[in-house]
């Protein structure tokens, strides 16, 4: 891009500046969407990016723009970009950046900032803050650009850091004066960098592959666990070939659901407890032995001796909680391919193991079926989610976004997924507030219909972004499970003075919020009504919010992780 500027530079030919160089650097590397909130000093950057053909999605709050950028990175394997203003705006975006880093989503947070000479002397500039220093401990890499001629290399470094090895969040600090710096247009164009092979394959060592296969051949009760890293890798056919050739039952973590259909004969999802307790060899593909898997020990895993085979691109991940008998360090595609190539004439696991898993799956599915078919008014979680299960079964290409406590935990086990990367949820940190940001980015990046199933508490964190959904006319249907509170809508203040700490306004009309912004708003009080309303919304593609009335008594404390709440040893008065 060329501009004419009165800036005092030596060149007399066409000029460019920091605004245009930053836009050009992103576009050169295939980044054509920015999520953010406009304001000082980046307002014009957003305008110019839009004029240059980029899609700029403006949010109501930076945290949700950051969440959108993070999940865009997960879905595309290219860094999602979030643009924020300085100081408070940067801090809002930083929460999403830290969450992206924890979940290994490639994301770049670009924030305007105050001038270095004032910040470093702490002279009280507008929104003065040493943003680079604050960001460094919370992301994978952090850079500051001070000269226009360095923008190209800064963007290149940010992209490579975000996607190479274990993906993560990167911060790029852009002082206000940088954006207006002018330089010769030809020299500016020559300073831009197209990143070549930012995420190269990392092959596992042959002896590590042989060791893993030896351990697996000795298994009597093997289990494969698929994590969201396996879904991110986008080597779906390779993973499916390995699972099916091995004959081993597999257990998908929540965002890995759909890598193979949840209805697959080898799926152990409905027999999770049995599979974890009784397995003797566990193959971890893109999953970590963190709190979501009880750190690989304790009651969840039972007394059976365990040997772990772990595939991870990060060597330090090995032995993080328990001994890893066969570490495979490399990218998932290369590691799984190497295992497949080394399997030869493979012998399936003993039938007594696979039959036991299948029998447990069938028994649990049969036991659950009547609960999912009820038509209670008001609804319980089983009836409501049973209705939504049918929606996804009929529309396997739709993307499901899910957050809450009970709403998350029940949905994770009830709604089957049929295609990869179609389930997006709270991930490793289990945070609230990802819903609307994830839903917006999923619609923007894929063009597919999105069903966002939200607890009423979770929805409250990002609910104002329904205006964003309506403004951009996105095919998003939001279902708010409204039980009048957090966990249950029945708590009381023992003093009688205030509402209980977990209680919301009774019978809130979230559907009317959507109508206020021009979207469709509906209330459903039983599963039949819910199914009809959601089906119509998904087929219409119109922004819709359905207020799903849930029995306030239906929930449980903290969903299925109430054990993480410490208990007081002091007797209640």
CA gap 41, 64 in Å, rounded: 20
Tokens at 46, concatenated: 């957003």
Q: Tell me whether residue 8 is exposed, middle or buried, using C-beta atoms within 10 angstroms of its C-beta: 0 to 12, 13 to 18, 19 or more.
A: exposed
**136 with 75: CB under 8 angstroms?**
no
Predicted local confidence at residue 566, as pLDDT: 80
CA angle, 461 then 463 then 465, to 5°: 115
What pLDDT is attached to residue 11?
52
Does the fold of domain 206-358 match that of domain 15-191?
yes
Neighbouring C-beta atoms of residue 366, cutoff 10 Å: 10
Q: What is the pLDDT along the chain (573 residues), one digit of tens a residue?
A: 444 444 455 556 899 999 999 999 999 999 999 999 999 999 999 999 999 999 999 999 999 999 999 999 999 999 999 999 999 999 999 999 999 999 999 999 999 999 888 888 898 988 889 999 999 999 999 999 999 999 999 999 999 999 999 999 999 999 999 999 999 999 999 999 999 999 999 999 999 999 999 999 999 999 999 999 999 999 999 999 999 999 999 999 999 999 999 999 999 999 999 999 999 999 999 999 999 999 999 999 998 889 999 999 999 999 999 999 999 999 999 999 999 999 999 999 999 999 999 999 999 999 999 999 999 999 999 999 999 999 999 999 999 999 999 999 999 999 999 999 999 999 999 999 999 999 999 999 999 999 999 999 999 999 999 999 999 999 999 999 999 999 989 999 999 999 999 999 999 999 999 999 999 999 999 999 999 999 999 999 999 999 999 999 998 887 667 777 787 777 554
At 557 the pLDDT is 81
Question: Which pLDDT value is given to residue 7?
Answer: 47
> What pLDDT is attached to residue 12?
66
* CATH superfamily label, 373-549: Thiamin diphosphate (ThDP)-binding fold, Pyr/PP domains (3.40.50.970)
DSSP 3-state assignment of 23? helix
pLDDT at position 555: 86
If you write DSSP's letter for every residue of 488-499 in order, what string do you get? -S--B-TTSSSB
Token look-up 């051949």 returns 217
Q: What is the CATH number of domain 15-191?
A: 3.40.50.970
**Before 41, cis peptide (omega within 30)?**
yes
Q: Which fold has domain 206-358?
A: Rossmann fold (3.40.50)
Tokens of residue 133, six digits: 């220093």
Question: What are the sequence ranges of the domains in the chain?
Answer: 15-191, 206-358, 373-549
């Amino acid at each position: 891009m060329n501009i004419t500027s009165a800036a005092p530079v030596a060149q007399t030919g066409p000029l460019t500046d920091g605004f245009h160089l930053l836009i050009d650097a992103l576009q050169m590397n295939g980044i054509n969407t920015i999520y953010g909130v406009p304001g000082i000093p980046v307002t014009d950057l957003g305008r110019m990016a839009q004029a240059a053909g980029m899609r700029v999605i403006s949010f109501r709050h930076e945290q949700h723009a950051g969440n959108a950028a993070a999940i865009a990175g997960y879905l595309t394997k290219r860094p999602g970009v979030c643009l924020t203003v300085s100081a408070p705006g940067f801090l809002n975006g930083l929460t999403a950046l830290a969450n992206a880093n924890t979940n290994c989503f490639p994301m770049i947070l670009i924030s305007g900032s105050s001038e270095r000479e004032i910040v470093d002397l702490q002279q009280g500039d507008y929104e003065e803050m040493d943003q680079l220093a604050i960001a460094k401990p919370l992301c994978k890499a952090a850079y500051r650009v001070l000269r226009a001629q360095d923008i190209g290399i800064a963007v290149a470094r940010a992209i490579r850091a975000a996607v190479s090895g274990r993906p993560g969040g990167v911060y790029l600090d852009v002082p206000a004066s940088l954006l207006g710096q002018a330089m010769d247009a030809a020299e500016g164009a020559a300073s831009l960098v197209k990143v070549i092979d930012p995420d190269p394959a990392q092959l596992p060592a042959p002896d590590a592959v042989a060791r893993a296969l030896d351990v697996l051949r000795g298994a009597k009760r093997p289990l494969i666990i698929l994590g969201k890293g396996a879904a991110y890798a986008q080597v779906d056919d390779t993973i499916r070939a390995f699972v099916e050739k091995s004959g081993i039952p597999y257990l998908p973590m929540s965002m890995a659901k759909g890598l193979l259909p949840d209805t697959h004969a080898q799926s152990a999802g409905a027999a999770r407890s049995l599979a974890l307790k009784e397995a003797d060899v566990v193959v971890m593909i893109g999953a970590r032995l963190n709190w979501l898997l009880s750190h690989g020990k304790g009651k969840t895993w039972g007394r059976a001796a365990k040997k772990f085979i772990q595939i991870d691109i990060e060597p330090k991940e090995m032995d993080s909680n328990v001994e890893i008998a066969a570490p495979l360090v490399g990218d998932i595609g290369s590691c799984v391919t190497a295992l497949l190539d080394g399997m030869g004439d493979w012998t399936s696991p003993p039938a007594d193991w696979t039959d036991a898993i299948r029998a447990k799956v069938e028994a649990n599915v049969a036991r659950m079926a009547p609960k999912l078919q009820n038509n209670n008014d008001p609804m319980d979680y089983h009836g409501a989610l049973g209705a939504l299960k049918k929606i996804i079964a009929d529309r396997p290409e739709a993307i499901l976004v899910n957050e809450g406590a009970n709403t998350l935990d029940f949905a994770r086990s009830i709604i089957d997924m049929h295609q990869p990367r179609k389930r997006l949820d709270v991930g490793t940190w289990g945070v609230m507030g990802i819903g609307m940001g994830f839903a917006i980015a999923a619609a923007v990046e894929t063009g597919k219909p999105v069903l966002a199933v939200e607890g009423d508490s979770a929805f409250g964190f990002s609910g104002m972004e329904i205006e964003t959904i309506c403004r951009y006319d996105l095919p998003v249907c939001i279902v708010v499970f409204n039980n009048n509170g957090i966990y249950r809508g029945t708590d009381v203040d023992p003093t009688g003075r205030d509402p209980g700490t977990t209680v919301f306004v009774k019978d809130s009309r979230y559907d009317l919020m959507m109508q206020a912004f021009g979207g469709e708003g509906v209330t459903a009080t039983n599963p039949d009504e819910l199914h009809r309303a959601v089906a119509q919304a998904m087929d219409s593609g119109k922004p819709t919010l359905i207020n799903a009335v849930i029995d306030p008594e239906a929930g449980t404390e903290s969903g299925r992780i109430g054990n993480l709440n410490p208990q007081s040893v002091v007797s209640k008065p």
